[in-house]
Amino acid sequence: MYGLTMAAFLLAVFVNGKICKDPNMVSANDFFFPGLNMPGNTSNPLGSKVTPVNVNQLPGLNTLGISLVRIDYAPYGLNPPHTHPRATEVLVVVEGTLFVGFVTSNPADPNVKNKLFTKTLYPGDIFVFPEGLIHFQFNVGKTNAFVFAGLSSQNPGVITIANAVFGSDPPINLDVLTKAFQVDANVIKYLQAQFK
């Protein structure tokens, strides 16, 4: 119970799943996060690194409805298709050239297809990804890139689509995925193998 006595636990105020800290125990460090000037390590298969600053890293954000991230990209690095179930994201490019986009989801009219919105961004450009919509960023430049992004929740959450669908444990039933994606079972097996 976070080191609280039972009486204190019962009296504690939960906000968004977090206990509000006793005001007498709050310090300047609860509102401080060092290091966003340092690039993240992009030596991974995707060539990107997200450094989050949300309520889990910065307790002073609790109840404020905001958070941010720094995202670093190697040349041709990708922040893969993902969604934030609890936040809209506004991204500003600091260095590099990014191809970004989001796709609408399940339009009310069954005759209308999901629509992809994309843009190539340069330093100083800003792009908004609406809450809950699948989006991505791809470094199309030959140099490193980085951005800062603000999110409209102190705990925006993230669901990376490929990891969730093809990397679950236990795996989603092969019949479910072959029917959902309308591909051969060997394609699904190949994709699942990439996330083991």
Residue type, position 27, single letter: S
Entry field: residues in the chain: 196
What DSSP string describes the chain? -TT--HHHHHHPPEETTEEPPPGGG--GGGG----TTSPP---STT-EEEEEESTTT-GGGTTT--EEEEEEE-TT-EEEEEE-TT--EEEEEEES-EEEEEE--S-SSTTSPP-EEEEEE-TT-EEEE-TT-EEEEEE-SSS-EEEEEEESSSS---EEHHHHHHS-SSPPPHHHHHHHHTS-HHHHHHHHHTT-
Q: Which residues are annotated as a binding site for Mn(2+)?
A: 82, 84, 89, 135
Q: Binding site: residue ranges? A: 79, 82, 84, 89, 135
Q: Which residues are annotated as a binding site for oxalate?
A: 79, 84, 89
